[in-house]
Structure 1
């Protein structure tokens, strides 16, 4: 899969490929059932038809250009980590920690990003992709992985572990008003480690295909 020897060129190329796949996915999901929507010879008039009709090559080149335009020198030593936040070295110090976890609705339904991003997850494990497919499933999904952030019984403890670990940093948590934990419960968890906790509300919004009209975007700031 890797035809680029330069690690920086490879990183930009993989970014461009991933963004191209994401922008062309039907209904914001990588879902085999929707394949017929691309291949059927029928008239289409949905909202992002122009996006679908634009080729992967055009999108790829657009995102390569976007990535290159985002590169700059801030004259500092920077580090990017690909780790579970809980496993970051305790000696690392951060001025601010931004937290945007998977979301559990008040009804207990969750967002399984591992499943939703099947195709991109597969690219990341390209050489072993076929070994990670659940061939008994209808849509050849990836074999599910347990995630504490999708468990309404464990998510409270996981938030507490996260806040405890980064209690010396400013905590900024992005969440929704109708989630589990609730707004008041999440504030109470942060208040165990921060004396000053503010909540910024950004009005009603909804995700693509979501019929939820009462949810508000929340930003918790603990100092």
Structure 2
């Protein structure tokens, strides 16, 4: 791989559609670009892809990227933007999605009656999915990604733990009909499609099931185990997860006000299990250069993580990065004032 043009990669990544996602790494992109370029290599795994921005950065830097997440909607986003090299949604495609329904489905209207969106917006989601179901492969991935981002932008704070408008600050995103959101979000995803010249992959898997070898770089951004509260991604983003598959094979907890999905266990989310989960993950990818981002307000602490890495790596660097998360706007969110660490194990 030739030496990548960092400036060009950062410029390309700067327009990647922004999903308000817990722990997203948009602000870390310049630091990560520098680290990835220092390491070099040709192949990279983004094992916890989340918003998809780091996978897209790696693609922009010329890597052959394998992108993975244990949720479905992040894997759809990376299929649309990292795996997809040339396909766009045409103007006719977009208008077809926003046009008359292709069937009589009404699951969203029935199941989420009175929740999250207006009746017109809920009807649009059913109608849009009836038309998206007619699309295939990369076009469908772009359309689902745009629909997910539209729903996230329309919901206050982008999370689905609340059903009222307590965080309605009057901004345009909360007023725009979902059909118009979809048109704008589809245009955003179309804008970032490009051909990197190498074949990339996207998975939806538990990290422990991934092949351990074949990557020059393995980037790890696991769910944080906070000392208080929780980081349950299903609780916060259950609607987006369900929407990405139109709730196929998803079990809704009918006794919950938010109609959330059943929680999926991950050992990274709990103080009692995360240390061993990290150790096993470092062991799994010991033959690759490991880059891990982790927060000072998470468990375990930086010293423990560095010690775990040294069990498998002879050269471990810890680089603190001043960073504030974009997630959360409430005045008492002091946890936003944290240090982000980049661990590099060679």
Alignment of 1:36-185 (within 5 A): 36=165, 46=169, 49-90=171-212, 92-105=213-226, 107-128=227-248, 132-185=251-304
Contact 2:144–2:244 under 8 Å retained in 1:
no
Q: 1:74 to 1:18 in 2, by over 3 A?
A: same
3-state SS in 2 of match to 1:221 = strand
How much has 1:211 moved relative to structure 2?
2.5
> Aligned equivalents of 2:188 and 2:317: distance in 1?
34
In the other structure, the counterpart of 2:22 is: none
Q: CA RMSD in A?
A: 2.3
5+ residue gaps, structure 2, are 1-128
> Aligned equivalents of 2:156 and 2:215: distance in 1?
38
1:197 aligned to 316, 335, 340, which one?
316
Q: 1:31 to 1:66 in 2, by over 3 A?
A: same
How much has 1:56 moved relative to structure 2?
2.0
TM value normalised by structure 1: 0.84
Number of positions where the alignment pairs a residue of Structure 1 with one of Structure 2: 212
Report Cα offsets for 1:50-89 as digits up to 9, x if no partner.
2212232232222222222222222223222222221112
Contact 2:309–2:316 under 8 Å retained in 1:
yes
5+ residue gaps, structure 1, are 39-43
> Which aligned runs of 4 or more in structure 1 are off by greater than 3 angstroms?
none
Contact 1:203–1:216 under 8 Å retained in 2:
yes
